[in-house]
Amino acid sequence: MSARPVRLRRTAGLAEVEIASAASGNCIDVGIAQELCAAAEEIAGDEAVSVVLLSTRGRSFCAGADANSPDWAAALASVPQPVIAAVQGDAIDEGAELALLADLRVCARSARFRFSHIAQGRLPSHGATQRLPRAVGRMRALDILLSGRWVGAAEAARIGLATAIAPAGGALPAARRIAIELAGKGPLATRYAKEAVVAGSDMTLAQGIRLEQDLYVLLQTTADRVEGVDSFLERRRPRFRGR
Amino acid sequence: MSPAARQSRAPAVLYEKRGAVAEIVLNRPESLNAYDTAMRDGLYEALTAVRDDPEVRAVVLFGNGRAFSTGGDLREFGSAPSPVAARAIRWQRDVWGTLWNLSQPVLAGVHGAVVGGGFEMMLLCDHCTAASDARFSLPETGLGMIPGVAGTQTLPRLIGSGRALDAVLRGTSIDARRARELGLVQKVVAPAQLRRRVHRLAEDLAQRRPALLASLKRLVRDASDLPIDVGLAAERRAARSL
């Protein structure tokens, strides 16, 4: 087995990225950051990958990051496929920002989030000021960022920070089930759906509707869309091929 | 005339003015109000009638039969024109832009299946009341498609990015109670009460000055598109002029 701190496995449309640095609480050091960037680039360029599962090993999800690491957040944000994070334990500071980079967050009941940047006299710099309000609303985001308090899994689910809850110890299997579920859908459709939601939220509504419509029409030219409609009318499971 | 022939002649959309309230009813119950070209044309006609009629001060929207609407009629998809032509038609007869841009408040009353384009149609309205049997979902990605009635844009603005991605990517089914918790619908009522309750609300709103409602609707709607100082200035300007 590889001793590398970031592992990338690809099987049947699913790419699994695992940070395996339990001894350091999966803190993102320079080496891990470099490997995250490389993994993100590789996944983004691999058309056979339709869903990404992001997980970490050990009790802590991710305890933070070293300063001056390469920009792992930008690299992960540029992955066009849907990304699902399995959050099994504490996600702290940059670790919480890492979880926020995912499109879906599956949290164990024991998982907690904490953004303590302000208490440390610094600002978040890996997206929390932008992605947290987009996920939970402006006032909740400010409350969480200003106080630096713990946000448990139950609250995370209530406010939309967690998109699914799993029993303690069950985040990874639950996230994998969702990943496999998504891998059974149209891979171009799930990419474009992500793009429409994420890119569209940076636009005015009218511009976002234009983007959605153009992606919708582009999908009409694909074999997958024909297969989707045929399978529905024939009452069978679709077989998508990503073209 | 056979029942089937009579059914095929029934208009896909019913439009009726009751005083200052316009009622639009989706009327393809045999297809669970799936959206086809007949419904598109009927809706466009009804919505432009509302747009151009200053007597109409509020709009209610319902579906006849077991479901509010199950979205695009997949049986029509094979016969659709080329994507290039479909795109041109989409903007020539801009049903959804017309609905979104109405100056009158539009109140949806939904029940049963509220799926795909039917769900998205509801999200373009200003207020939603759901019957307790309503169920909401966006199944498009499972069919190799994405939502095409602005749902990828309206939903994240209403419920946040994570929840919207969950609904859009997974097609998760949402029941009426959960929809109220999420803020997708404002009221849940017994199915037998649905139309009466929505009409009552519409009649209340129809008593208000139309210009006031139109301004409020525009200001709130544009709030997410504008830098706040621009939105505040627009609010002050509108308040002074009314």
CATH number at residue B37: 3.90.226.10
- B192 shares its domain with B229: no
**Of A160, A198, A216, which has the smallest distance from its Cβ to B163's Cβ?**
A160
The CA distance from B63 to the nearest CA of chain A, in Å, is 23
- B201 shares its domain with B214: no
- B224 shares its domain with B121: no
- A72 shares its domain with A133: yes
Count of domains forming chain A: 2
Query: Is A72 within 8 Å of A35 (Cβ atoms)?
Result: no
- A178 shares its domain with A196: no
Q: Which residues contact A3 (CB under 8 A, 6 or more apart)?
A: none
Domain that holds residue A50: 6-183
| Over residues B174-200, mean pLDDT | 97
Strand A112-114: give its sheet, edge to edge: A90-92, A112-114, A150-152
**Of B86, B141, B162, which has the smallest distance from its Cβ to A193's Cβ?**
B141
What's chain B's average pLDDT? Answer: 93
- A14 shares its domain with A43: yes
**Of B90, B162, B224, which has the smallest distance from its Cβ to A160's Cβ?**
B162
Residue closest to B118 by CA, chosen among B127, B109, B126: B109
- A191 shares its domain with A160: no
- B138 shares its domain with B220: no
The CA distance from A132 to the nearest CA of chain B, in Å, is 9
Is A239 a domain residue?
no
* Cβ pair B142:A228 closer than 8 A: yes
- B197 shares its domain with B218: no
* Cβ pair A233:B148 closer than 8 A: no
Most A-contacting residue of B101, B153, B181 (CB-CB within 10 A), to test interface: B153
The CA distance from B182 to the nearest CA of chain A, in Å, is 9
- B37 shares its domain with B77: yes
- Tens-binned pLDDT, residue by residue, of chain A (243 aa): 456 899 999 998 999 999 999 999 999 999 999 999 999 999 999 999 999 999 999 999 999 999 888 999 999 999 999 999 999 999 999 999 999 999 999 999 999 999 999 999 999 999 999 999 999 999 999 999 999 999 999 999 999 999 999 999 999 999 999 999 999 999 999 999 999 999 999 999 999 999 999 999 999 999 999 999 899 899 999 999 989
- A175 shares its domain with A96: yes
Is A240 a domain residue?
no
Last residue of a domain, one of A142, A165, A183: A183
Is A85 a domain residue?
yes
For residue A234, what is the nearest residue in chain B, using CA coordinates?
B75
Is A24 a domain residue?
yes
- A198 shares its domain with A213: yes
- A71 shares its domain with A52: yes
Is A241 a domain residue?
no
Residue positions counted in chain A: 243
Count of domains forming chain B: 2
Query: Is A7 within 8 Å of A55 (Cβ atoms)?
Result: no
- B66 shares its domain with B149: yes
Residue pLDDT, tens place only, B191-239? 999 999 999 999 999 999 999 999 999 999 998 899 889 999 999 999 9
Q: A180 CB near a chain B CB, below 8 Å?
A: no
> Does residue B55 carry a catalytic annotation?
no
* Cβ pair A209:B74 closer than 8 A: no
Containing B131, the helix (H) or strand (E) segment is strand B127-131
- B222 shares its domain with B159: no
Structure token pair of residue B63: 């579906």
> Does residue B120 carry a catalytic annotation?
yes
Q: Helix, strand, or coil here: A235?
A: coil
Last residue of a domain, one of A183, A207, A223: A183
Structure token pair of residue B169: 């990517």
Q: Computed from CA positions of residues B54, B59, B64, B67, in that sequence, does the dihedral angle turn out positive or negative?
A: positive
Question: Cα(A176)–Cα(A170) distance, rounded to whole angstroms?
Answer: 10
Structure token pair of residue A203: 């636009």
Domain that holds residue B217: 209-242
- B236 shares its domain with B184: no
